[in-house]
């Protein structure tokens, strides 16, 4: 229960903090049991990124765990201040960032590269948020380049898992079973038919990617691809000293050369994140339409500013290769879907979103859960990347309408997967001008890019 109650058709109660709307549990909204339970399971998605932090980036386990704790806590900031999204990572960027980090030695050098990307992402969100140019920038970016970014990110994500020496070679049974099950649950036509007829199937589907991860863990452990976890009891204790050792105050601030090298990757991060925002807007718009008892109101510029705040705090104190993204699309969609069942099912969109994020933040302090999943983090990370790759490829292809767009996007995607962001942006721009434009030197008439962008979301 909460102290303040919402009037029918009004906004959920809040305290005004400038232009922001502060909401606290038990004061402005109640906690929702289903989201609390779900958070105890899906917190492992965030935990799985520790595999990247300790491997490719070269952080210690203690530093990676503490940064993950800080990440889960900072995810609460946007929804606490009035944004109806479950915040998360810029997940499709991870394979692109992996290519970028491949040019740096794991350890202080790679950590400085992550810091440079994260601070650059923060500053891009700040600039485009203050000026309000974010939508104009993405809408005016040619469709072929936007699609090329997504398709390239998808190809890279899947390539990292199936290439020689990748995790498919190390754990073929667990990854094959988990990956196929994940894609079946999320996208299969036959599963959707079962979903509409069976309550048990609906319950399984409500947990999104986690059933596939759990099955992969059981299979991997059963066939000996993963060892038995050594469970420890107690509360997870963060090591802020270890975290500061991998911050700019420990490894040093990146030089100008690293910032310049990181900038193309940061630009792609914004384009990807804005695409997620468009999807999130449509999810909330649908929820707003179906629930007349609550008016959901938020400011897109504030989404940008709060994303800046999270990324700059990470860049200065707790660098995270997942970046701080404005929305965890699957989590937001899951909450919004249950929200449409009515007020008895979920009082407010904010009670659902915040309950899930509070659970995510608290679950990581439960040491038995953390130590149980520790040996299985690689499989959780792999399935996350496979799902991300599939989604990126399908969304990217769906945006393309002409043969010229398909060609430009396809070549750009391949260059992105092989050589990284800077080469891909140059290749995509050159191909766009010489293939798609009817006149290279004159400004072309608008081709309803904005309408295409909206339909793609």
The backbone torsions φ and ψ at residue 171, rounded to the nearest 5 degrees and listed phi first, read -135, 70
Q: Are residues 339 and 199 in the same domain?
A: no
| pLDDT, position 287 | 84
From 83-87, 204-208, 209-213, the region with the lowest mean pLDDT:
204-208
Tell me the average pLDDT across 423-430.
92
Q: Are residues 43 and 86 in the same domain?
A: yes
Q: Are residues 344 and 303 in the same domain?
A: yes
* 40 lies in some domain: yes
- Tally the C-alpha atoms within 13 A of residue 254's C-alpha that lie toward its C-beta: 24
Tell me the average pLDDT across 374-394.
82
pLDDT in tens, 24-49: 999 998 998 888 888 887 788 888 88
Confidence category of residue 453, pLDDT binned at 50, 70, 90: very low
* 454 lies in some domain: no
| pLDDT, position 241 | 95
Residue numbers of the domain that contains 351: 15-141+226-381
* 335 lies in some domain: yes
Q: Are residues 127 and 231 in the same domain?
A: yes
* 82 lies in some domain: yes
Q: Where are the alpha helices (DSSP H) in 209-299?
A: 210-222, 240-245, 248-251, 256-290
Distances (CA, A) of 363 to 72, 367, 411: 9, 9, 43
> What percentage of the chain exceeds 70 in pLDDT?
95
> What percentage of the chain exceeds 90 in pLDDT?
39
Which residue is associated with the tokens 């679950």?
363
Which residue is associated with the tokens 């290439």?
163
Q: Are residues 87 and 218 in the same domain?
A: no
DSSP symbols for 300-316: HHHHHHHHHHHHHHHHH
What does the angle CA 387 – CA 389 – CA 394 come to, to the nearest 5 degrees? Answer: 100
pLDDT in tens, 57-70: 999 999 999 999 99
What is the enclosing helix (H) or strand (E) of 16? Answer: strand 15-17
Contact 82, 302 (CB under 8 A): yes
* 314 lies in some domain: yes
Tell me the average pLDDT across 2-14.
86
Contact 265, 100 (CB under 8 A): yes
Q: Are residues 331 and 191 in the same domain?
A: no
Would the pLDDT of 115 be above 50?
A: yes
| pLDDT, position 447 | 46
Q: Are residues 97 and 204 in the same domain?
A: no
Q: Are residues 230 and 220 in the same domain?
A: no
Contact 135, 82 (CB under 8 A): no
Q: Are residues 100 and 234 in the same domain?
A: yes
Q: How many domains does the chain have?
A: 2
Look at strands 15-17 and 20-22 and give their pairing: antiparallel
The count of other CB atoms within 10 Å of the CB of residue 234 is 10
Would the pLDDT of 303 be above 80?
A: yes
Could you tell me which of 314, 303, 45 has the C-alpha nearest to residue 182?
Answer: 45
Contact 46, 360 (CB under 8 A): yes
Contact 379, 47 (CB under 8 A): no
pLDDT in tens, 70-107: 999 999 999 999 999 999 899 888 888 988 998 899 99
pLDDT in tens, 341-368: 888 888 899 999 999 999 999 999 999 9
Which residue is associated with the tokens 């099955």?
215
Please, is 294 exposed, middle or buried when counting C-beta atoms within 10 Å of its C-beta (0-12, 13-18, 19+)?
buried
Would the pLDDT of 445 be above 70?
A: no
Instruction: Report d(CA 179, CA 383) in Å as an integer.
Output: 6
Distances (CA, A) of 391 to 9, 147, 429: 35, 12, 24
């Amino acid at each position: 229960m909460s102290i303040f109650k919402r009037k029918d058709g009004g906004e959920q109660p809040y305290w005004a903090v400038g232009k922001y709307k502060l909401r606290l549990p038990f004061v402005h909204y109640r906690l929702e049991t289903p989201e609390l339970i779900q958070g105890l399971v899906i917190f492992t998605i965030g935990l799985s990124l520790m595999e990247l932090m300790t491997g490719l980036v070269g952080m210690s386990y203690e530093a990676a765990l503490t940064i993950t704790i800080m990440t889960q806590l900072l995810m609460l900031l946007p929804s606490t201040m009035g944004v109806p999204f479950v915040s998360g990572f810029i997940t499709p960027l991870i394979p692109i960032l992996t290519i970028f980090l491949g040019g740096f030695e794991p350890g202080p050098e790679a950590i400085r590269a992550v810091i440079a990307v994260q601070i650059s992402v923060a500053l891009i969100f700040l600039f485009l948020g203050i000026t309000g140019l974010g939508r104009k920038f993405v809408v005016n970016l040619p469709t072929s380049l936007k699609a090329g970014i997504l398709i390239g990110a998808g190809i890279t994500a899947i390539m990292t898992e199936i290439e020689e020496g990748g995790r498919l070679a190390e754990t073929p049974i667990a990854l094959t079973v988990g990956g196929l099950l994940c894609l079946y649950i999320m996208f299969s036509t036959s599963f959707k038919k079962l979903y509409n007829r069976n309550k048990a199937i609906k319950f399984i589907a409500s947990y999104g990617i986690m059933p596939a991860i759990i099955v992969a863990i059981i299979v991997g452990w059963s066939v000996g691809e993963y060892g038995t976890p050594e469970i420890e009891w107690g509360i997870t204790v963060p090591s802020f000293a270890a975290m500061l050792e991998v911050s700019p105050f420990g490894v040093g601030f990146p030089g100008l050369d690293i910032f310049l090298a990181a900038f193309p990757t940061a630009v792609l991060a914004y384009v990807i994140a804005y695409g997620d925002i468009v999807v999130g807007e449509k999810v909330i718009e649908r929820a707003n339409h179906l629930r007349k008892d609550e008016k959901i109101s938020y400011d897109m510029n504030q989404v940008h500013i709060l994303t800046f705040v999270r990324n700059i705090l990470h860049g200065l104190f707790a660098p995270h290769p997942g970046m701080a993204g404005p929305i965890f699309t699957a989590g937001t969609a899951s909450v919004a879907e249950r929200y449409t069942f009515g007020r008895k099912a979920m009082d407010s969109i904010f009670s659902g979103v915040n309950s899930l994020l509070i659970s995510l933040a608290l679950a990581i302090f439960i040491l038995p859960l953390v130590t149980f999943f520790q040996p299985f983090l690689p499989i959780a990370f792999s399935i996350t990347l496979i799902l991300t790759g599939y989604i990126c490829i399908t969304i990217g292809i769906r945006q393309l309408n002409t043969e010229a767009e398909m060609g430009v996007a396809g070549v750009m995607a391949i260059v992105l997967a092989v050589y990284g962001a800077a080469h891909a942006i140059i290749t995509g721009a050159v191909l766009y001008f010489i293939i798609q434009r009817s006149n290279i030197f004159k400004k072309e008439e608008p081709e309803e890019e904005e309408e295409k962008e909206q339909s793609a979301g």
